[in-house]
Structure 1
């Protein structure tokens, strides 16, 4: 079957983390250093999420990320103050304009687009506030549907809304442990968005011996060409 739809993650895929928000909250931190530390922090978070999935535990992503970025493991009070004084809308409020351009091209090709995101129930408002209104056929927010990636059920909700089989959809996200693993488990073709070129071309889940290939792009302008290639 040909690809009919592309589903997207939001954080660090459509909307980038805004390190300036943290720098403003903690003036002693240098924006340049936060931006430098960021890519490795996300890769470490991916490893923590995979470990938690295997163990059946949970990761408080925001607290984990703040500790890693701020190197403040011994400052829990400072972390809690930061959690209290920020919200996800102010942290992921930097639009990935190359993603927007890629989506315009996909829609011109007749490909439908939608969002499946782990969020706090406010991701649709976040997108609309940042210029994405009318872009997507629908938005599936884990905070509203009660199930999160990598659970296959959140992907199935998206497929049901789109009226498609899993083989007809791609899923684009930035974390192998959540986005690639979950999409593969649900039967979709995953596309890892890897702008910092940190991952190889195979996803090795801890619980299995074999490595499963996935599509990987380092720039969003590669996505329309990938869809064209897959559709022959």
Structure 2
């Protein structure tokens, strides 16, 4: 019997809006660079690849607020160099990072509110377990999501990051629930799936774009399926 459900944040509950390419183009225009959204979109796959390589090499940057901020800044600097404005990489990165500190630069997926309401109506405890900086709670408050959650555990605040099971253990402790009575919903089979399973929690992977056909864990295409699935 499930008593509590934890959720990842990025690509599970929310996504950047405007996109990173759009935000970088706007910052570039404000700083006098003649670059379009398309100019930045060309480099988004390289930015994603850069993040994945850094995460696989040593994802412990998520374990502190400074490290969590640094990985965002590093990605934006990298794109600036690829786009030919490396001379302004510092200023650009700071401007883009500042934009994403605010709720107005993020969008809640359309399936989130209905899922969370349905789970709360069942009497389940809800929590967040996310690799994020220490300002996560403020961001969720700005997005009007915080009232749904009984606890918010960000990696930077506790010093452990997924897939380390300790971050899940801490979340269970805060809710006073056994891991075996919990499920965790996230988008990454490695961080969310492996981490939750190692903690004795049931993983559920939300695969919105069919990118994880070989995922070894329970998989849903939308959060709207989660209440029935559990």
TM-score range, shorter chain: 0.7 to 0.9
SS of residue matched to 2:147:
coil
Aligned to 2:36: 29
C-alpha distance in 1 between matches for 2:210 and 2:75: 20
> Contact 1:3 / 1:169 at 8 angstroms: preserved in 2?
yes
> Contact 1:159 / 1:165 at 8 angstroms: preserved in 2?
yes
SS of residue matched to 1:134:
helix
1:100 equivalent to 2:113? Answer yes
1:222 equivalent to 2:228? Answer no
> Contact 1:43 / 1:198 at 8 angstroms: preserved in 2?
no
TM-score (ref. length: structure 2): 0.76
C-alpha distance in 2 between matches for 1:225 and 1:40: 37
1:84 equivalent to 2:94? Answer yes
C-alpha distance in 1 between matches for 2:208 and 2:78: 20
Equivalenced residues, count:
211
Task: Give per-residue Cα distances to partners, 1:154-182, cap 9 Å, x unaligned.
Answer: 11100111112212111111222322221
C-alpha distance in 1 between matches for 2:114 and 2:165: 29
Change (3 A) 1:82 1:75: same
Shift of 1:108: 1.4
C-alpha distance in 1 between matches for 2:12 and 2:183: 14
> Contact 1:201 / 1:216 at 8 angstroms: preserved in 2?
no
C-alpha distance in 2 between matches for 1:182 and 1:105: 25
Task: Give per-residue Cα distances to partners, 1:33-60, cap 9 Å, x unaligned.
Answer: 74x976896577446534546xxxx996
Aligned to 1:16: 15
**Unpaired segments ≥5 residues, structure 1:** 203-212, 228-232
Aligned to 1:178: 191
C-alpha distance in 2 between matches for 1:215 and 1:69: 35
Tell me the C-alpha RMSD between the 2 structures: 3.1
C-alpha distance in 1 between matches for 2:127 and 2:200: 17
Change (3 A) 1:122 1:199: same
TM-score (ref. length: structure 1): 0.76
1:49 equivalent to 2:55? Answer yes
Aligned to 1:110: 123
Looking at secondary structure, tell me which structure has more helix per residue.
Answer: 2
Shift of 1:64: 5.6
> Contact 1:49 / 1:177 at 8 angstroms: preserved in 2?
no
Aligned to 2:32: none
C-alpha distance in 2 between matches for 1:67 and 1:192: 31
- Between 1:110-119 and 1:59-68, the stretch displaced more is 59-68
